[in-house]
Amino acid sequence: MLDLTTNDLINFEIQEKETHLKVFADADLAEKALALLFNLRSELETFIATTPRFKEAYSPVNVPFRSPQLIKNMAWAARKGKVGPMASVAGAIAELIGKELLKYSKEVIVINGNDAFVQTDYEREFAIPNSNYMLKIDPRDCPMAFSTLTNLGTAEALVVKSKSGALADAAATAIGNVLRDPIEYDDVMKLAKKIRGLKGVLFTKGDFIGAIGKMDIRSKG
């Protein structure tokens, strides 16, 4: 799970089946967050029961216009990233819960594994897993979402930022699939630029850093 240390926000953790969230807010919103998570997972499970391909596919799947917002967000992100819908589920859930909790808290940060949704009034720093770097999130850029992947073969860590949590997650999967192969890093950047809606992409390999867009980082320690 992504790491954030802060003393000015209340933090709590919730879990529903396989989904484990860490939430930071101005108040203890655990009950509201858990109810939101339960509803989102129920919508997803109900949809998958009638459309199993949505869970199994490794490519985009069309969904009815009247589908729940979570399903539509995942399907949209999958089309943008040319991946299966489930590649965006963690980021999509973090974003939807985060936006709903903003009705009750001025600041909200939702961490779902290696995905995060951030709405903050102050600069926040997140430790990038499997790297020596911290990612800074500027409050002027919020709301912002990002997704991280590690141990990718040709890279140690990957970070993708977007206004959409679903898109950040789907794009991280798409770019991560390329980074697993022995490929020129320029080709990775070309792929990242083709996915419209990304605010930044960064990957690390030892002391080497490849990045496009606005990616503010610093060394740990």
In this prediction the pTM is 0.96
Residue 3 placed within a domain = no
Q: What pLDDT, on a 0 to 100 scale, did the predictor assign at position 5?
A: 85
Position with higher pLDDT, 7 vs 186: 7
Would residue 171 count as lying in a domain?
A: yes
Q: Give phi and psi for 17, each to the nearest 5.
A: 55, -125
DSSP letter at 128 equals: P
- What single DSSP character describes residue 140? G
88 touches 73 (CB < 8 A): yes
| Domain region containing 176 | 10-219
Average pLDDT across the chain, whole number: 95
pLDDT at 102: 99
Structural domain contains residue 4: no
Residue 220 CB burial class (10 angstroms; 0-12, 13-18, ≥19):
exposed
pLDDT in tens, 41-50: 999 999 999 9
What would the mean pLDDT of 52-73 be, rounded to a whole number? 98
Q: How confident is the model at residue 152 (pLDDT cuts 50, 70, 90)?
A: confident
1 within a domain of the structure (yes/no): no
- Buried b / exposed e over 62-82, threshold 16 CB at 10 Å, is ebeeebbebbbbbbbbbbbbb
Estimate to the nearest angstrom the gap between the alpha carbon of 101 and the chain centroid. Answer: 17
> What is the number of structural domains in the chain?
1
Assess whether pLDDT exceeds 70 at residue 65.
yes
Residue 2 lies in a domain: no
Residue 204: band (very low, low, confident or very high) from pLDDT cuts 50, 70, 90? confident
Tell me if 140 is assigned to some domain: yes
Domain membership flag for residue 31: yes
In a domain, 96, yes or no: yes
| CATH code for the domain in which residue 29 is found | 3.10.520.10
